[in-house]
Amino acid sequence: MGRIFEVRKHTMFARWDRMAKQFTRIGKEIAIAVKNGGPDPDNNPALRRCYQNAKGVNMPKDRVEAAIKRAMGKDKTDYEEVVYEGYAPHGVAVMVETATDNTTRTVANVRMHFNKLGGSLGNSGSVGFMFNRIGEFKIKNEGQDLEELELELIDFGLEEIGEDSEGNIIIRASFTEFGNMAKALEEKGLNVITAELKRIPATTVELNEEQAKEVLELIDRLEQDDDVQQVFHNLK
C-alpha cells in the first residue's frame, strides 16, 4: 500500500509539474502575442492560437484572461524570444526556444545545462540548418474523410496529414503558410485542439538505449528550465 501510494503520488506530482510548465509557457506566449498584436483575439491571430493551445492543455479560462490583463498592465514583463543551438552527447543536434526577460541569465543557464550533461552550446546557425520549421495543427477527429480534407487544404499550404496515437488528426503546413492554414481551419469550423510552430529534423540520429538515455536527460533538464519554451532535437 505504501509503495503503491508513493508511486501514484510521484506520478501525480509529475503531471502537476508538466501542467504548471505548460501554463507558464502559454502565459509567456500570451504576453508576447498581446505585445505584438493587442488584446483582441479577433484581430490578433497569435492570440487566437494561444487560446487554442490553452484549451488543449485544459488551462482555465480565468488564467488566460489574467495573463492578458498582466500583459496590458504597467507592470507587465517584456519577454524576448531567443533561440539557442547546440549539441547533446553523441552528436545529437538540439534547438532550444526561450522566452526571457533576462538574456544574460538564460544563456548562462542553457550553457550550464549543456556543459553539465556532456553537450555543448553552439553559435547561431550551427544546427538550425538541420531543421525545417513547420506549423502543426492537432484537430479533433469527428469522422472527417482525410483524403477529402487533404484536397480541401492543399491550397492553404498543406504538406502532410495523418493521425496521432490518440486518433486526432495532425496537419502540417509550411512555416510561411501557418497563418493561411490557421484561417482555413477556422473558416471550415474544424475543432483545433492545438496550433504550434515546430522544428522538424531533416535527418535523425539513431543511438543505443544507454546513449539515448544520456541525450534525453539533457533534453529533460532543458525543458524544466523556467525560461525554456520548447526543445527540438534530431534523436530518432
Summarize pLDDT for 180-224 with one digit per residue, the tens. 999 999 999 999 999 999 999 999 999 999 999 999 999 999 999
CA distances from 32 to 13, 136, 171 (A): 29, 20, 25
pLDDT tens digits, residue range 1-49?
Answer: 344 434 343 334 445 467 788 999 999 999 999 999 999 999 999 999 9
With CA atoms as reference, report the closest residue to 182 among 195, 201, 169.
Answer: 195
3-state secondary structure of 39: coil
Q: Provide φ and ψ at 146, rounded to 5°.
A: -65, -40
Q: Are 167 and 144 in contact (CB under 8 A)?
A: no
Can you give the pLDDT at residue 12? 41
Burial (CB < 10 A; 0-12, 13-18, 19+), residue 119, is buried
- Closest C-alpha among 34, 58, 59 to residue 45: 34
**Cell numbers linked to 37:** 498584436
pTM of the prediction?
0.87
